[in-house]
């Protein structure tokens, strides 16, 4: 069967279905009078709204989701010319309008003005309103491109059910200017006075506070400004090729030709606790409740050689060879050459620190406890099929609640 025939059969099928629904409601509601548009012979009344499924015909509705098919049941409805849900006009088909029922799909466009009413307009200009909610979920925030954005910069917040009108508030009691809104992404200009803490988003359908902290300062281990690492490892700068600061100085790995199993000091970042803040655990709490985070910037294609990230007890040593050292492997190039669009926040739950130094592709370990871990090391070290240029910048290394 060709596409034209398929579409013709589908159209006939839908017409039959809606026709059966209209007939069903005419019989069920004991409709008298013509089943077509006609002038009202009395005041129009809506008795109730229900689903169209005859199996659950006693399910009355006080609201519906976008696009739902509903049946409006009452008297003297046949002269209905327009039907509005909030500020959105529904598409009416005269075939499915009778004196007793109107079968209609709720509009699929999100209302900008919410009245929580449906409004019927009749041919004589009279109107009838009836309480009815459109069930649109409130905003859901799942993440942010970068948790560190300067005032005047654009924060890109990810999630769902982002609709206009919208208000974005930052900790500190300041509101950001919304630059653009898509259903799953909002871009907002960070205002002066924004402080570390959650961001909240409000639409006509609710408010949600972000699960993350903007400019999270709860447990910064290394910021490369006042909290540094071993100076002979990863260099720091206020700017390099393709990278400007996200929050003061940053550290970076850079090589014109980095290949398999090359242990190069400048391609490691080692923090030894005795020379830093002392024998203080990287965090307090249970492994399953914690996440390793940092801002990263990869301006050129990263093709090979993974980054190993691991913790160790306080010592003047990286600790990679110590028994019990468990690491995470960051290797975003596995799906193809990897770059970032400026600074982005990398998040790795501590529950994903599952490799030992001798593991192949399959992990064999688990990070059980962080109470005796004080050192932090990151290094570009692992297998590769060829040598390639690498630039990976990073800042604000921290371990915080998930």
The pLDDT score that the predictor gives to residue 39 is 54
The pLDDT score that the predictor gives to residue 145 is 98
Portions of the chain given CATH number 2.60.40.10: 3-134, 140-209
How many Å apart are CA 35 and CA 38, to the nearest integer? 9
The pLDDT score that the predictor gives to residue 40 is 57
How many Å apart are CA 218 and CA 228, to the nearest integer? 17
Q: Facing residues of 401 across strands?
A: 290
Which residues are CB-contacts of 327 (< 8 A; sequence separation ≥ 6)?
308, 309, 310, 320, 353, 355, 356, 357
How many Å apart are CA 248 and CA 227, to the nearest integer? 12
Written as one string, the DSSP assignment of 40-79 is -SS--EEEEEEES-GGGTT-B-SEE-TT-EEEEEEES-TT
Residue 122 sits at φ, ψ, to 5 deg, of -105, 170
Residues of the chain where predicted confidence (pLDDT) is lower than 50: 1-38
How many Å apart are CA 254 and CA 299, to the nearest integer? 11
CA 232 to chain centre: 39
Q: For residue 261, how many C-alpha atoms fall within 13 Å in the half-sphere facing its CB? A: 4
Which residue has 């639409």 as its token pair?
203
Which residue has 């050192």 as its token pair?
375
* Cα Rg, the chain, nearest whole Å: 30
How many Å apart are CA 48 and CA 74, to the nearest integer? 7
The pLDDT score that the predictor gives to residue 245 is 96
Portions of the chain given CATH number 2.60.120.430: 220-401
Contact 87, 48 (CB under 8 A): no
How many Å apart are CA 294 and CA 154, to the nearest integer? 18
CATH 2.60.40.10 fits 140-209, yes or no: yes
CATH of domain 3-134: 2.60.40.10
The pLDDT score that the predictor gives to residue 32 is 34
Paired tokens of 130: 């009836």
Assigned architecture for domain 220-401: Sandwich (2.60)
């Amino acid at each position: 069967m060709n596409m034209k025939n398929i579409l013709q059969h589908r159209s006939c099928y839908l017409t039959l279905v809606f026709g059966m629904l209209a007939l069903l409601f005419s019989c069920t509601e004991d409709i008298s009078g013509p089943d077509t548009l006609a002038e009202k012979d009395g005041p129009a009344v809506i008795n109730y709204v229900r689903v169209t499924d005859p199996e659950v015909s006693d399910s009355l509705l006080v609201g519906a989701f976008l696009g739902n098919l509903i049946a409006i049941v009452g008297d003297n409805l046949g002269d209905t010319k327009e039907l509005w849900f909030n500020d959105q006009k529904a598409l009416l088909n005269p075939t499915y309008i009778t004196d007793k029922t109107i079968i209609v799909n709720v509009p699929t466009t999100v209302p900008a003005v919410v009245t929580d009413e449906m409004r019927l307009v009749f041919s004589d200009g009279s109107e009838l309103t009836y309480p009815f909610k459109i069930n649109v979920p409130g905003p859901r925030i799942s993440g942010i491109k970068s948790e560190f954005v300067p005032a005047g910069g654009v924060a890109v917040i990810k999630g769902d059910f982002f609709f206009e009108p919208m208000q974005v508030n930052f900790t500190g009691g300041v509101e950001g200017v919304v630059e653009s809104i898509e259903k799953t992404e909002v871009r907002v200009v960070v205002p002066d006075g924004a402080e570390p803490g959650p961001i909240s988003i409000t639409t006509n359908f609710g408010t949600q506070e972000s699960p993350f902290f903007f400019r999270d300062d709860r447990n910064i281990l290394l910021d490369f400004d006042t909290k540094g690492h071993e100076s002979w490892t990863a260099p720091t700068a206020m700017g390099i090729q393709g990278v400007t600061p996200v929050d003061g100085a940053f550290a970076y790995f850079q090589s014109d030709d980095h290949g398999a199993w090359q242990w190069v000091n400048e391609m490691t970042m080692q923090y030894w606790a005795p020379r830093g803040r002392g024998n203080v655990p990287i965090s307090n709490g249970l492994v399953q409740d914690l996440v390793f985070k940092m801002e990263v910037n990869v301006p050129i294609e990263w093709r090979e050689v993974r980054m190993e990230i691991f913790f160790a007890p306080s010592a003047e040593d990286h600790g990679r060879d110590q028994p019990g050292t468990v690491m995470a492997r960051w290797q975003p190039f596995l799906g193809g050459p990897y770059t970032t669009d400026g600074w982005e926040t990398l998040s790795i739950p501590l529950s994903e620190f599952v490799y030992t130094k001798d593991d192949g592709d399959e992990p064999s370990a688990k990070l059980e406890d962080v109470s005796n871990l004080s050192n932090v090391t990151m290094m570009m070290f692992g297998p590769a099929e060829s040598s390639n240029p690498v630039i990976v910048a990073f800042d604000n290394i921290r371990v915080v609640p998930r």
